[in-house]
Structure 1
Amino acid sequence: MFTKFGKSLMMTSSVLALTGAAAMAQDQDSTLKTNRVVPFNGVKDYRTWSVGAWGGGSAAFGPFGGPYYFNNFDFKNVGIVYGAYVKKQIFHNFGLQADFMRGQVKGATKASQTLTDINGAPLAGGIKSFQTDIDWSASLSGVFSLGSINWINKQSFVIPYVSVGAGAIGFKPTVTAADGTEKEVLTTSGKSSHREMFIPVGVGAKFVVAPGVNIDLAYTANFVNSKVFDGVNSGNKDKFSTAKLGLEFAIGKKRKPQLAVVNPAAQLAEDLWSKNAALKTSLAESDARNEAAIGQLKEEIAGMKTDTDGDGVPDYLDKCPNTPAGTKVDGAGCPLPAPVQVIKEKVIVTEADRKVVKDAIDNLEFDLGKATIRPNSFASLDKVASLLVEKNFSLKLAGHTDNTGSAATNMRLSKERAEAIKAYLVSKGANPSRIEATGYGSTQPIASNKTAAGRQQNRRVEFTLY
């Protein structure tokens, strides 16, 4: 009997699958025409709320075995159930769903079966069938999607899921005796309405037929915390099954995709491909600009090599274009001046000249620790100046000191004394360009600095005439 019910459910599923496939073939492009979302940016770019309505059939058995007393299945004993739900999708593959259901569950029993009422007393005449009206039921379930990630297609059009939850149900069972007499089954307190907890466990699949619209096909086994849901006390708590067919509608802006049906792997890949394509386009444009710039640069380089007059200077640097062939030019392309022959006069330094210089050295005196020339040195220095003017000699002045004091002070003093002599000679008419003044401090002694006489010799200015 369960097999018959399963076959019926499978036939219904097949019809729905074919219907959904046809609808999906028509709406595939429109399903994907939603705004792109930013990965890892939360759920603000998605539609996460949805509502649904459904109808279906019920039967007084479940798939998990047990002593079913009302198990003669035929279509006369299929109850009608219907309901609605509100769903909040938390993640791509998990959501919470609040369900409401009404309807009835029917069943017929074997004629040989003896059943008892709610208090365990035998039911006279036997029970032929029962009908339980579900006045209401409310439950909250967790729904786990199994196919939102699809590595074959960019869009998941068929999304299997499982659900499990808990809720409360209000029902009124009625039994029909063998003689056709109907009897309401009352609670222990004498009321016809029963209220109990129940656990719905379901499997199903959603078929995406349009953006935000899904066909919902599901089978649910409902475990009721009651031994008389089917009107008789069989010693075990009862259960019943429902097969549902419904439509689900996403709530929110149509431009946003529905979180439950988006394929995140394909979306991330498409984002990466899109960015990669944009990068390739940008690189291609950059390459084109670079090629154009390189071509222009090559033209400019070729132009820079042009030398119209053949003088070895490119036109863009040639300040004297069209110079005759064979003309020697400078770096600006202008003819070089004709060379002027310079006749150097041989300079001869006589012994008399050397004596003048030696006298100046011997008579040279400075103030102590200063570069001030004492007046008694002027006469001999005047003779040196006259010699430089008359014979156009060159003169090198080298100042030296002993090692008394710091090296820096000695270097400065030797330089200043040499410069003082140069300044004096220039003031007497000597050519400053022919006089070189250098200070060496105490670095070139000619005698020992350990004695006063040696230090005296080291404090000197050397004159080199040439």
Structure 2
Amino acid sequence: MKQQLFKCLPVALAALFVGGAAQAQTQTPASTSATQEFSTWSIGVNAGVLSPLSPLGGKNDFSNWKSSFGYGLSIKKQFTPYFALKLDGIRGKLKGDNSEPYESGQTVTGGNSAYETDLSYAATLSAQVNMFNIDMFRKQDVLQLYLSAGAGLAGYKPTVTDAAGATTDFAGGKSISELVIPVGLGAKFRVSEKINFDLGWSVYFVDGDNLDGTYRNNNSDKFNYAHAGLEFALGKGKQLAYHNPVAATYDEAVAAKQLAGSLKSDLDNQKAENAKLRSEMDDLLKDSDGDGVADKLDKCPGTPGNTVVDGAGCPLVTPKPVEKVIITEEDRRVVRDAIKNLEFDLGKATIRSKSFPTLNRVANLLVTKNFSLKLAGHTDNTGSAALNMRLSKERAESVKAYLVSQGVNASRVEATGYGLTQPIATNKTAAGRQKNRRVEFTLY
């Protein structure tokens, strides 16, 4: 078993580094609020007390144990907030004698009277499990409780003293290697973003009865190590060991609920605005007698059906003969000026007053030269397609209604809405969207 463990321990160490490298390659760097980069590697230094006994059962070979100074190093890879693999190494001395009886009152006679063991190393690979975060509503806690268990090798040289006071090296002074199984618990405090204070206690079960250089009581030897130390987190980001997924999920749920409430409020406001806009447009474009002139502009309401009316909604007594005319460059300039200066209230079909002078020149052009005009309304892609189609139609109709109010024959003006279907520029910029919100004039 010892030879196999010698072979397996380097493999376990290699697996610790390879597994960490593989996880680092697959981890997505922090790019959004939903993805976060964490620090998963750490190194530690510690010092404490080595004692050659265990409170977990079994009788020690010597009745009186003594505490000695010990120290160690560690390397840890955190795979999840709750699980890590930790490579530990400790050194120190273990001492005991029979100067006092056992707690049962039994005294030890004969054989070795004392020993001192130089623990050259105890190298172990352990799984460490974080029990829980103290506050489930904090994403980064400061206190952590953990349990650990693993396996490894210990190398040591016992020196024994017999009843006559003679001191000898056990096993001829050669170093002994044995399998050890550490079981421990501890508490860790985060004192800064990259430094932790660690308090721990571990019991090492030795696969042999030679740690104290004495075969007695027919049981394997044990020792324990109580330590305090500092752990230093490596790399960027917060420590994964202190990350609380429960609290993070709770925060995300709260944020999602707040966002949903905000979106619902915006939707309700938009619906109310749309309803108001529809009401205003219905009132503006209402034509009770169907003569093509809105009631607000109709000076002769109640005109019979199929009656040809003028721009004021009154019947034409003698239709003017149609004259063939030629559209000049000056005529086109008048139309271009009207298009350039045409503005509406935001999200409405109400024409702003600054547009009236150029529209008046278009109206005069249509009346004096007997032209016909096609109005084509267009919008950008803000809002739904149905809303934009309706708004474009209503804006074209609004321009028609104004021209008719200035004396233009309603039958000579055609108003059509195309919504967002015919952009002339990109909708990804404010300037592009401004160009797409337009009403085109076509003389014929």
| TM-score tier (shorter) | 0.5 to 0.7
Q: Does 1:249 align with 2:232?
A: yes
**1:274 pairs with one of 255, 274, 281:** 255
What does residue 207 of structure 1 align with? 189
Partner amino acid, structure 2, of 1:63: P
What does residue 314 of structure 2 align with? 334
Sort the Cα spacing of 1:201 and 1:317 in 2 relative to 1 into closer, same or farther, 3 A.
Answer: same
User: 1:131 touches 1:175 (CA, 8 Å); kept in 2?
Assistant: yes
User: 1:37 touches 1:45 (CA, 8 Å); kept in 2?
Assistant: no
Partner amino acid, structure 2, of 1:61: L
Alignment of 1:334-353 (within 5 A): 334-335=314-315
Distance 1:168 1:36 in 2: 43
Q: Whose radius of gyration is greater, 1 or 2?
A: 1
Partner amino acid, structure 1, of 2:177: R
Q: Once the two structures are superposed, what CA deviation does each residue of 1:187-243 show, in whole Å capped at 9, x if it has no partner?
A: 1xx234222221111112222333233222211010112322123222322101111
Sort the Cα spacing of 1:326 and 1:94 in 2 relative to 1 into closer, same or farther, 3 A.
Answer: closer
User: 2:284 touches 2:294 (CA, 8 Å); kept in 1?
Assistant: no
The alpha carbon displacement at 1:169 in A equals: 1.1
Count of residues paired in the alignment: 280
Distance 1:37 1:173 in 2: 58
Q: Once the two structures are superposed, what CA deviation does each residue of 1:134-173 show, in whole Å capped at 9, x if it has no partner?
A: 1122111111221159645444433222111111111122
The alpha carbon displacement at 1:94 in A equals: 1.6
What does residue 78 of structure 1 align with? 67
Sort the Cα spacing of 1:315 and 1:110 in 2 relative to 1 into closer, same or farther, 3 A.
Answer: farther
Distance 1:100 1:52 in 2: 10
- Could you say what secondary structure the match of 1:293 adopts? helix
Partner amino acid, structure 2, of 1:218: G
User: 2:291 touches 2:303 (CA, 8 Å); kept in 1?
Assistant: no
What does residue 90 of structure 1 align with? 79
Q: Once the two structures are superposed, what CA deviation does each residue of 1:3-31 show, in whole Å capped at 9, x if it has no partner?
A: xxxxxxxxxxxxxxxxxxxxxxxxxxxxx
User: 2:134 touches 2:143 (CA, 8 Å); kept in 1?
Assistant: no
What does residue 90 of structure 2 align with? 101
- Could you say what secondary structure the match of 2:251 adopts? helix
Alignment of 1:54-453 (within 5 A): 54-72=46-64, 77-111=66-100, 113-114=107-108, 122-123=110-111, 127=113, 129-148=114-133, 151=136, 153-176=138-161, 181=165, 183-187=167-171, 190-234=172-216, 235-253=218-236, 256-305=237-286, 317=294, 321-323=298-300, 333-335=313-315
Partner amino acid, structure 2, of 1:304: L
Distance 1:247 1:274 in 2: 36
Partner amino acid, structure 1, of 2:282: I
Q: Once the two structures are superposed, what CA deviation does each residue of 1:324-358 show, in whole Å capped at 9, x if it has no partner?
A: x8876767643498xxxxxxxxxxxxxxxxxxxxx
Distance 2:50 2:291 in 1: 100
Distance 1:320 1:156 in 2: 72
- Could you say what secondary structure the match of 1:91 adopts? coil
Partner amino acid, structure 2, of 1:280: G
Q: Once the two structures are superposed, what CA deviation does each residue of 1:237-279 show, in whole Å capped at 9, x if it has no partner?
A: 21011112122222111xx232222111111222232233333
Q: Cα RMSD (Å) of the superposition?
A: 3.5
Distance 1:295 1:319 in 2: 19
Distance 2:212 2:170 in 1: 12
Give the 4+ runs in structure 1 shifted more than 6 A.
Answer: 34-39
- Could you say what secondary structure the match of 1:147 adopts? strand
Sort the Cα spacing of 1:319 and 1:85 in 2 relative to 1 into closer, same or farther, 3 A.
Answer: closer
Gaps of 5+ in 2: 1-28, 102-106, 318-444
Distance 1:102 1:141 in 2: 17
- Could you say what secondary structure the match of 2:197 adopts? strand
Distance 2:78 2:302 in 1: 91
The alpha carbon displacement at 1:107 in A equals: 2.6
Q: Once the two structures are superposed, what CA deviation does each residue of 1:405-429 show, in whole Å capped at 9, x if it has no partner?
A: xxxxxxxxxxxxxxxxxxxxxxxxx
Distance 2:267 2:166 in 1: 87
- Could you say what secondary structure the match of 1:210 adopts? coil
Sort the Cα spacing of 1:321 and 1:170 in 2 relative to 1 into closer, same or farther, 3 A.
Answer: same
Distance 1:248 1:269 in 2: 29
Distance 2:94 2:252 in 1: 50
> What TM-score does the superposition give when structure 1 sets the normalisation length?
0.52
The alpha carbon displacement at 1:53 in A equals: 1.3
Distance 1:251 1:236 in 2: 42
Gaps of 5+ in 1: 1-33, 116-121, 338-466
User: 2:289 touches 2:304 (CA, 8 Å); kept in 1?
Assistant: no
